[in-house]
Amino acid sequence: MKILPTNRLLAGILIALVGAVLFSTKAIFVKLAYRDTNIDAVTLLAWRMVFSIPFFVGAAFVSSSQSSNTKFTWKEWILIAIIGCLGYYISSLLDFLGLQFVSASIERLILFIYPTLVLIMSAAFFKVKIKPIQWLAVTITYAGLAIAFMSEVTVQSAENANFFKGAVLIFICAFTYAAYIVGSGRLIPKVGASKFNSYAMSFASAAVLLHFFVTSEVSLWHLPALVYLYGFLMAVFSTVLPSYLVAAAIARIGSGNVAVVGSVGPVSTIILASIFLGEVITVWQIEGTILILIGVLVIGNQK
């Protein structure tokens, strides 16, 4: 496997960390929208994409006009559309639906099984050798995640009859998002990070809006003002910015390392959920957080 220069590795890790933290704000905005309004998952997701799509279409136009690369083949167009819809249509829809039944903290726990899935998919389909340091980092981070949320799983499953329904939805979300990470890791080196992300997100946004207009009887207009506010904040801070950061990180350090470094996301979710949602931070969560950070540092020390 190619050894990355130290500066390139550290820059990729930093970009991936910022992207992970911004992505973690999505669950907070979703839970706030459910708490403060009567919005349903599909309508909320549609407004997220309504606010997002101008950024992605504009970026796609700019990157195409400035790019010196050859045009996409039909196969590449199809792959970009499929991968984009996996990552930001299907995964997002499952995540929004699941968040109706579980807390933001538990959502992060279940969603962050995807680094393991990324490594396994890469090994199974593309014969990518899994380095021992990656397995060590995954083991450390997941030990931290298990410690942080073990007691909360017991409490929520006892109090919420739909807890396991939400958990299953987010589990499937993790699988489809892992497929997105693996697929984007193969395409980004060929088509470029910014160009890939712009088109992939444009396809996903179109798919979300098509789903809304086909299945929903709710109007996008005359909704509570908070729906538009949360939709806009999710679009900018939980969708547009982190999606480009993750794509740039994948181009620098590869999808496997991005997936593992991204495990720091639950740490920020715990803190944000405590501040904005009133979720309690326990001693178990603090101990788990320490292990998660150690796992990220293991990746950072990789030569």
Burial of 109 (0-12, 13-18, 19+ CB in 10 A): buried
Q: How far apart are CA 186 and CA 80, in angstroms?
A: 11
Q: How far apart are CA 77 and CA 80, in angstroms?
A: 5
Query: In angstroms, what CA-CA distances link 249 with 10, 16, 19, 77, 163?
Result: 10, 5, 9, 22, 34
Residue type, 1: M
Whether the Cβ atoms of residue 199 and residue 88 lie closer than 8 Å to each other? no
Query: For the chain, which residues make up each domain, given as ranges?
Result: 6-300
Q: How far apart are CA 43 and CA 45, in angstroms?
A: 5
pLDDT score for 96: 96
pLDDT score for 303: 41
pLDDT score for 1: 47
Q: How far apart are CA 19 and CA 253, in angstroms?
A: 14
pLDDT score for 4: 59
pLDDT score for 42: 94
Residue ranges in the chain whose pLDDT is less than 50: 1, 303
pLDDT score for 126: 78
Q: How far apart are CA 151 and CA 266, in angstroms?
A: 16
In the numeric block, the tokens 């136009």 are attached to 61
Q: How far apart are CA 239 and CA 47, in angstroms?
A: 12
- In this predicted model, what pLDDT tens digit does every residue of 43-73 receive, in sequence order? 999 999 999 989 888 887 777 776 555 577 8
Query: In angstroms, what CA-CA distances link 24 with 30, 144, 154?
Result: 11, 17, 23
Check: pTM over 0.85? Answer yes or no.
Answer: no
Tell me how crowded residue 46 is: count the other CB atoms within 10 A of its CB.
22
pLDDT score for 230: 96
Whether the Cβ atoms of residue 205 and residue 56 lie closer than 8 Å to each other? yes
